[in-house]
Structure 1
Amino acid sequence: MKTRIRHYRKLRRFTQSDLADRIGTTAATVSRLETADMKVSMGWLQRFADVFNVQISDLIDEPGAPGRVPCLGEISRTGALLAVADDGSVVTLEAPAKDPIALRIGESIGPYCAGDVVIADRMAPEHAARALGRDCLVEVGGQASGFGRFVSSDDGRYFLVPPEPGAQARSLPTPDWIAPVVMLIRYF
């Protein structure tokens, strides 16, 4: 069975050794699983899904599936095509998230342009440490409370720093959920 393990590894910018360390195996085994030189069991798929924070079904290759665009390679700063992808690589337009939500940026703020769509991955408050230092949507008291950089203080309080330069950080009670941004879609 052909999988999308390599795709998600590259999307997360892991080397085969990085990924091997995270799932408790060797880089050689990761290579064999990526190239289908070794049978990929449901156990292996679950380990990869946990590391990539995706569903097992996201790891199973479905040629011609909607939302997949062939990837020709990488472009350098000079505009040169650096690496021609001859391995059937694709760019996935699916959100790399277990519980995705989307937000449309209404007006340009900080690094975001009006019309951008950000995809965020909702997580429970006990996983807040994984969201620290990332742009997030936060819900408190059953209502979406704001968007910005999610940070904490030495005394364990949470703050949301808006993306607009110079904006005042807001103190937050314990959130109902936190949704760090995992994908940005910008239309031209």
Structure 2
Amino acid sequence: MINRIRDIRQQKGLTLADVAAACRPATTAQTIGRLETGMRTLSLGWMNRIAAALDVAPELLLRSESREPAMIVAVLTEDGVEAPHMQREAVLPSELAAEAPWLVLEVESSAGDYRAGDQVWLRQHPPAHAARLLNRDVLVPRPAGRFAFGRLIGCEEGGIVLSPPATGRQQARVEHPQWLAVAEMLVRKL
């Protein structure tokens, strides 16, 4: 089995030292480097520690040798399109995400930056995290099976304020929301 530690680590923007420090108990960057290059055996114990440090499921660290993965073949920079510095496997964003399940908002009519046919993939958070989600697009449940969606522009004791994505609409105040789901990924067919 070939491991995907380096690919996942790089796509999450982490260094060897970051992963080593996030391991419990902490380890060295050199050890993580040896594990991801195969110079050291990736035991089940190491697999669980590294997966926890990367915030992914342990089985995601391995890939089958019989199925070819999607590869990053080009990188768009400010100077144009270039070949990647190293060959890397592309890891699906849904595989990189935290343990909370995805929620999906389907866009039926264009509004603001969102076009008809888009899917907005969101992650659920408790209301106590509202202050950390300011200036992010969020979906919030309302009574009677309704929802509010928009840019989180205010959080006060017992409620939040959203600015809708479409111009000309009024801000929405939601009292005591059960949860907030923050937009993390936009899926748009070209």
Task: Point out the more displaced range, 123-132 or 28-37.
Answer: 123-132
Deviation at 1:151, TM superposition (A): 4.8
SS at match of 1:122: strand
SS at match of 2:140: strand
User: Which structure 2 residues correspond to residues 11-160 of structure 1 after superposition, within 5 A?
Assistant: 11-23=11-23, 24-63=26-65, 68-87=69-88, 89-92=89-92, 94=94, 96-97=96-97, 98=99, 99-125=101-127, 128=130, 131-141=133-143, 143=145, 145-153=147-155, 155=157, 157-160=159-162
Task: Point out the more displaced range, 174-183 or 162-171.
Answer: 162-171
Conserved 8 A contact 2:60-2:95 = no
Deviation at 1:63, TM superposition (A): 4.6
Q: 1:5 to 1:123 in 2, by over 3 A?
A: farther
SS at match of 2:151: strand
5+ long unaligned stretches in structure 2:
none
Residue 183 of structure 2 corresponds to 181
Deviation at 1:72, TM superposition (A): 1.0
Task: Point out the more displaced range, 148-157 or 9-18.
Answer: 148-157
Deviation at 1:142, TM superposition (A): 7.0
Q: Which letter does structure 1 place at the counterpart of 2:4? A: R
Which of the pair has more CA radius of gyration?
2
In percent, how many aligned pairs have the same letter? 32
Conserved 8 A contact 2:158-2:175 = no
Which string of whole-angstrom CA distances, capped at 9 and with x for unpartnered residues, describes residues 16-72 of structure 1?
333334334433333233223333344544444445443333333235669x52221
SS at match of 1:153: strand
Q: Which letter does structure 2 place at the counterpart of 1:163? A: P
How many residues end up aligned between the 2 structures?
186
Conserved 8 A contact 1:159-1:169 = yes
Q: Which letter does structure 2 place at the counterpart of 1:22? A: A
Q: Could you tell me how far apart the structure 2 residues matched to 1:64 and 1:114 are?
A: 38
The TM-score, its normalising length taken from structure 2, stands at 0.72
5+ long unaligned stretches in structure 1:
none
Q: Could you tell me how far apart the structure 2 residues matched to 1:170 and 1:34 are?
A: 48
Q: CA RMSD in A?
A: 3.4
Q: Could you tell me how far apart the structure 1 residues matched to 2:152 and 2:41 are?
A: 40
The TM-score, its normalising length taken from structure 1, stands at 0.72
SS at match of 1:28: helix
Q: Could you tell me how far apart the structure 1 residues matched to 2:171 and 2:131 are?
A: 18
Which string of whole-angstrom CA distances, capped at 9 and with x for unpartnered residues, describes residues 59-112 of structure 1?
33235669x52221312234331425424x224264543301222222333332
